[in-house]
Amino acid sequence: QIVLTGQPELKDVLMRPNLTQLRQRVGVSVHLKGLDLQDTRDYIGSRLHFVQEGGDGGPMFHDDVIAGVHKLSRGIPRLINAVSDRILMAAYARHTKDITMEVAQSAFDEMAFVCA
């Protein structure tokens, strides 16, 4: 048995004529959708929880920042991580744990082309 996982482009690859026999052996195909806004909020909250373990209180994303992360990433966890990492770097550079839209905006601007 073989399990294939990949980006949405994997489906396109499997449609190539030279992969017909492999495609015929795929028993189950599932496409995961992006997270909704609440799931994005929970996902970021869960990741921040681990950052705060044993610490003196970690960063705090404001609601409008989470909404911005969700919109830019379309709820795709890999992109949520990338955008959030960039936001955390911007906050670190400003010596703040209070993640406001002002802090996040430069990260949104930088990541817009990555998430397009």
Residue 108 has pLDDT above 80, yes or no: yes
Question: Is the Cα dihedral 50, 76, 65, 37 positive or negative?
Answer: negative
> pLDDT digits over 55-92, tens only?
667 789 999 999 999 999 999 999 999 999 999 999 99
Look at strands 98-99 and 60-61 and give their pairing: parallel
- Integer Cα distance of 103 and 91 in angstroms: 6
Q: What is the pTM of this model?
A: 0.78
- C-beta of residue 107 within 8 angstroms of C-beta of residue 87: yes
Residue 54 has pLDDT above 70, yes or no: no
Of 85, 75, 73, 84, nearest in space to 114 by CA: 73
- Percent of the residues in the chain that have a pLDDT greater than 70, as a whole number: 96
Torsions phi, psi for 22 (to 5 deg): -65, -45
- Integer Cα distance of 39 and 41 in angstroms: 5
- Integer Cα distance of 54 and 59 in angstroms: 13
Question: Which amino acid is residue 83, in one-letter code?
Answer: V
